[in-house]
Every structure is written in structure tokens, then in C-alpha cells.
Structure 1
Amino acid sequence: MIRTGRTAIALTLLLAGSAFAQQQPPASPAAPPPVDFSKVEIKTTDLGDNVYMLEGQILGSIGGNITVAVGRTGIIMVDGQFAPLHDKIKAAISTISNLPIKYLINTHYHGDHTGGNEAFAKDGAIIVSDINVKNRLAEGTTNGLTGVKTPPAAAGALPTKTYAGKMLKIRLPGRVADLRHIAGAHTDGDTYVWFKTANVLATGDTFTNGRYPNIDFANGGNIKGMIAATNAYIKLTNAKSRIVPGHGPIADRAALIEYRTMLVTARDRMAALVKQGKSEDDVVAAKPFADLDKKWAPTELASKNFIRVVYHSLADKTDKKTVLKRMLRRS
């Protein structure tokens, strides 16, 4: 049975104001309103076998989900939200276990998942990620939809344990996390985390439950990789699996299959429009996903942005220099 509880925490998609600019998720095209972190709450869901999901909500916006897996000597945590929430996140985790956080895994580089890196590292956590997460954080990034630039993160926020292959195992007594990289999906540095004994999968933003995902095409994302990710998840999980999405409520395999169907439909429709030589403005005006919007787009802006990111992921051409640069980044 799943138990839920609330503590005073907030997990939110966006940070407002220049003071938090380096931790803004680069995927949001609209200027966010100021956030009062003191008013945010969190829901803690017990997934069984000492694994938990932390999710927060404020004014209808859901921040990046956190997974907490407790071993005998410490905790493995997946994603850490924004820096201003560090103390509240620790307080919430303390209601689960008083053991130290040994590892903090970044599923990708966006600020609503990595903002807490520096503070948790100061607490003693080892920050773990795919190598491209470290590279993106170190170099800074540009939002493909808005052109907004996110400056390099502080040195203390960079992952200190990285991998450039397809997988990595993180072990603690009584707990093993299998990390696997999916190439060119939400970004170029996505990691999903599989807690096999608990039958719990943490996907990061390669899966967003009940809403369109962002595809960060300017930083290696592509709808083809998103579909490849869901194919891997469907193969890995079963009817009893608990799936922690990057955003949205806890999901099961059936929700994942429905999400994949949406992605495939969107890819096929957009591929036909791209083949016809349609421009970005043409496809936005055509509203090719109007029937899908009823379930997956909470706003008109969300609908338009999904059209745009799918278009760019299929229409943009990657030159040989860019391909070589990506290969060197992973070396």
C-alpha cells in the first residue's frame, strides 16, 4: 500500500529573478512569477522496500520529482531540486531516515533537478551523472526556444563521479542503483535509475506523466531518443513497477505505454510535415496535435512549445563538426 504525507517543502519548476538565473530550467519560454518557497508543500509517497518519491506543487506547477532510496548505511537520492529548498528537502528526508545522503544522482542538467548539487555536496553527498551533465553545467547553456542563456554553474555544483559509457552501478550495503544513459532524448546527458529489488524506476524528464515533455533540442534532445527511452522502460518494467517521472504523479507501466503512443503519434505526424517542407510557423499554425492536447497540454503555450520542440528535433540538421564535438565531450 502507498502512504502519503505532507511536509513544508516546495518543489517548483521555475525560479524568478536574476539572483537565481543560473538555476532556472532552460526549457521554460515564459517569464516565471516570483516564488515564495515558504508556501510550498511536498507529498512523500512510500513506494515500498524503503524507496520514496518526493513531489511538490505550487500554483499548479509541479517541480522535478525526487527519489530517495534508503540502504543500511546511507541514502541514494535521485535529483535534488533548487538550492533554496535544500534545508526543506533534508527535513523531509529526515522523516524517512536519519542516515546520510551518500549519493545524489542527476538525471540531466536542468536546474529544477540539479540546483541542490552544491549544497548537498557540502553535506558530503557524491554527485553522480552522465559526463554530458557535468559538461553542460560547467560550460553554460542556451535555451533553444527563447535564446535565454544559463551561465556556468559553480565549481562546487559539478558532479564529481561521472560515467561516459552506457551504464554505471552505485552500491551501498542493502541498496544497488543501476544507472543507464539514453542518448539524445530529453537532453544529451540523460540517465535513468533502476532500483531492481524495489521494482522502482526513476526516469528523469525522459518521461513526464500526463503532460507533454520538453525536448531540449538545442542541447542534444530529440524525440527519437525519447521514444527509445520509453521502449527501454517498457521492456524493463512490469505491471507491478512503480515509475517516478521527472514531473507528474507516480506512474505505472500502463501510463508509460500511453505516453509512448503519444510520442510516436507526434513523431509520425511531424515527420510528414517536415518531409513536405513546412516551416516552424507552418506547423504551429497547422496544430497537428490538437486531439492530443486535450490530455497532454495544460495550456495553449504548452501545446505550441511541444509542436516547436518536436519540429526542431526532426527538422534541424546536425553538421559533422557538431557530431564530432559531442563525441569529444563524452571522451
Structure 2
Amino acid sequence: MHKMKLAVVVALMALSGGVFAQTPAATPPPPDFSKVEIKTTDLGDDVYMLEGQGGNVTVAVARDGIIMVDSEFAPLHDKIKDAIVLVSKQPIKYLINTHFHGDHTGGNEPFAKDGATVVAEVNVKNRLAAGTTNGLTGAKTPPAAPDALPSKTYTGAFKLRLNGRVADLKHIANAHTDGDTYVWFKTANVLSTGDTFTNGRYPNIDFANGGNIKGMIAATDVYLKLVNARTRIVPGHGPIADKAALIDYRTMLLTARDRMAKLVKDGKSEDDVVAAKPFADLDAKWAPTELAGKNFIRVVWHSLADRPEKKPLLKRILHRS
């Protein structure tokens, strides 16, 4: 039990899009999972969104099994399973990780033990296996247990097929992280975005682990080519969304990028831009707390101000050779 609580605390510190992502470096207490209720929303065509504690979950039912997108925290495994049983008695065949953060991958190990194949972009497995550091807080997440690692990885694009159900997985490079996957259930007209889209709130951009606001904007461009006015969009956090909500989100990202680009060009430091409050007019809609607003300023600044380390000249020459 002590190890379980410790794992949950570590996962909370690495959260990506929700309220806990906007906490200071101090370790937050673990939530009381006994009080968490799983809310199920029917999206049509036997596809459902589950909301509990952490990232949203998508459940797509086929004739011979279930494709599940994200899994929240390990202590919620039983509650999530109970919620799924209410809509289908089919086994969970595949569990897709949209990225590596613990509020989306915490259920990997228990669902894998149930028989699900965990699928993710290759960088997700690499990040989970190596352990990560939060760029804002410095909090370190240790390597995941071997049984919690995805057993099937892909690069670029991948399809999962069950009887009567196809899930198209595609990688968005350097957006929320360096291993983001979106999942398109075309026949159901349902898109699962992970934390590349958080509805009605600022996203966290994990710049220390490959994230960048430019990639976040590129993700929205891809999504807007897929969806129509009837598409149901499952965001990483927040309520079910539609195309109009996605457009509002993209507009906010563009505004933030353009304002920050000017400040970076003017040589402003991270502390300078936090003090300048460049997104003050956006905060009323997108920042649930003052800290959330400050953290978004910081991650956008890092996206545009950080410079990749250059390899020594000899190594670059050898690499080209």
C-alpha cells in the first residue's frame, strides 16, 4: 500500500493537463481514490468517454473486444473496469497511451495483467523506462516497472483493427511531449487527442521532455482537417468538445505564441515575462488558478527561448560521415 501511494504521488507531480499539473514543487497529498466516481458519456456508435481522476479515457467497443485510450491512475483500475462492464462485456484487447504522463498511463500494468496489449509511440516507452524530470518543478519520476511499459510500439502511424472497429494512431512530433499519439475512430467520428488538446484550460507543455507550443499548434491544424461540426472530440482534460471549441483553443495558442515570440525577441527572461503577464486577458477563460496562468507563461517561454544543445564540432563531423 505504501508503494502504491508513493507511485500515485509521483504520477501526480508529473501530471500534464489538469489542476495537479499546476502545483508548486511541494509534493501534493495523494487523492482519496475511494471517493472518485467514474462518469460515462455515450458518444454514439458504441464509443464512450470516461472521466474520473486524471486524463480522460475513451472506450471503443467492437464485436470481439474493446480498444481503450488512456487509463488514468492504477488505483482506479477496478472502478474503470466496472464502468466499462456497464457498456460492454467484451474484453479490453488494446490500451493506447496518448503520452507517458502518469495520469494517462497509471493503469498500464493492471490492465496489461488483465490481458490488454498496451500500445504507444516509441518515445512513450523510452520515457517510461528511463524516468523523467519535470521542467517546471524539478520533480523526478523514476523508471516505470517493466510490466507497466507498452508491449507494442510504433513510429509515424499505426492501425489497430478489431471486428467492426478501426483505430488510426498517428504521432504528433514535439507537441505536449515527444511521444504524443492522437486516435481517430473515423466511422464513429470520434477523435481522442490526449493532452495536445485540453478543453477550456491552458495545456501544460512538457518542454523538458520534447514538448513545444509550435507542435501543439501543428496538432490542432491536423485535427481541424479531420473533424467536422458533428465530431465528438475527447480532450486530454476537460469536457467533451466539438470543432468550435478546438478552434477557440487554437486561437488561444496562436495568440500566446505570437505575444511570447515578441518578448523573446526583445531578450526578456523567464522572470521578466512572468512579471509582464502577457496573457492576462486570456486567463479568465483558460486559467483555473493564478498558478496555472504563470505556469503557462513559463512553458510557452521555454518553447520559444530554449535553444537545443549543439553537438561538439568533431561529433557533428563524425555523425555526418
Could you tell me the TM-score, scaled by structure 1's length? 0.89
Report how far residue 211 of structure 1 moved: 0.1
Q: Distance in 2 between matches of 1:268 and 1:19?
A: 38
Q: Distance in 2 between matches of 1:259 and 1:142?
A: 27
Q: Which residue of 2 aligns with 1:287?
A: 277
Aligned 8 A contact 2:71 2:106 in 1 = yes
Spell out the pairing of 1:76-225 with structure 2 (5 A cutoff).
76-164=67-155, 166-225=156-215
Q: Is the partner of 1:46 in helix, strand or coil?
A: strand
Q: Distance in 2 between matches of 1:149 and 1:299?
A: 24
- Counterpart pick for 1:42 among 38, 44, 51: 38
Q: Is the partner of 1:197 in helix, strand or coil?
A: coil
Report how far residue 215 of structure 1 moved: 0.1
Letter in 2 for 1:99: Q
Q: Is the partner of 1:192 in helix, strand or coil?
A: strand
Q: Distance in 2 between matches of 1:87 and 1:43?
A: 14
Letter in 2 for 1:32: P
Q: Is the partner of 1:179 in helix, strand or coil?
A: strand
Q: Is the partner of 1:103 in helix, strand or coil?
A: strand
Spell out the pairing of 1:1-20 with structure 2 (5 A cutoff).
18-20=6-8
Report how far residue 320 of structure 1 moved: 3.6
The reply on whether 1:71 has 2:59 as its aligned counterpart is no
Q: Distance in 2 between matches of 1:16 and 1:216?
A: 25
Letter in 1 for 2:12: Q
Assess, with a 3 A threshold, how the Cα gap between structure 1 residues 271 and 122 changes in structure 2: closer, same or farther: same
Letter in 1 for 2:101: H
Q: Which residue of 2 aligns with 1:5?
A: none
The reply on whether 1:32 has 2:22 as its aligned counterpart is no
Percent identity between the two aligned chains:
77
Letter in 2 for 1:243: I
Spell out the pairing of 1:265-280 with structure 2 (5 A cutoff).
265-280=255-270
- Counterpart pick for 1:232 among 216, 222, 234: 222
Report how far residue 21 of structure 1 moved: 4.2
Report how far residue 24 of structure 1 moved: 3.1
Q: Is the partner of 2:138 in helix, strand or coil?
A: coil
Report how far residue 289 of structure 1 moved: 0.1
Q: Is the partner of 1:317 in helix, strand or coil?
A: coil
Q: Which residue of 1 aligns with 2:48?
A: 52
Q: Distance in 2 between matches of 1:49 and 1:320?
A: 50
Assess, with a 3 A threshold, how the Cα gap between structure 1 residues 118 and 231 changes in structure 2: closer, same or farther: same
Q: Distance in 2 between matches of 1:258 and 1:53?
A: 21
Report how far residue 17 of structure 1 moved: 5.2
Q: Distance in 2 between matches of 1:16 and 1:119?
A: 12
Q: Distance in 2 between matches of 1:19 and 1:105?
A: 20
Q: Distance in 2 between matches of 1:310 and 1:229?
A: 16
Q: Distance in 1 between matches of 2:126 and 2:309?
A: 20
Could you tell me the TM-score, scaled by structure 2's length? 0.91
Q: Deviations over 1:120-166 (max 9, x none)?
A: 000000000000000000000000001110000000000011012x2
Q: Distance in 1 between matches of 2:158 and 2:30?
A: 38
Q: Distance in 1 between matches of 2:285 and 2:12?
A: 26
Q: Distance in 2 between matches of 1:94 and 1:272?
A: 52
RMSD: 1.5
Q: Which residue of 1 aligns with 2:232?
A: 242
Report how far residue 23 of structure 1 moved: 2.9
- Counterpart pick for 1:318 among 308, 314, 321: 308
Report how far residue 18 of structure 1 moved: 2.8
The reply on whether 1:258 has 2:254 as its aligned counterpart is no
Q: Is the partner of 2:235 in helix, strand or coil?
A: strand
Q: Which residue of 2 aligns with 1:59?
A: none
Letter in 1 for 2:202: Y
Aligned 8 A contact 2:9 2:28 in 1 = no
Count of residues in Structure 1 that have an aligned counterpart in Structure 2: 302
Letter in 2 for 1:23: A
Q: Distance in 2 between matches of 1:16 and 1:292?
A: 38
Aligned 8 A contact 1:143 1:149 in 2 = yes
Q: Deviations over 1:251-309 (max 9, x none)?
A: 00000000000000000000000000000000000000000001000110000000000
Structure 1 segments of 4 or more deviating over 6 A? none
The reply on whether 1:23 has 2:18 as its aligned counterpart is no
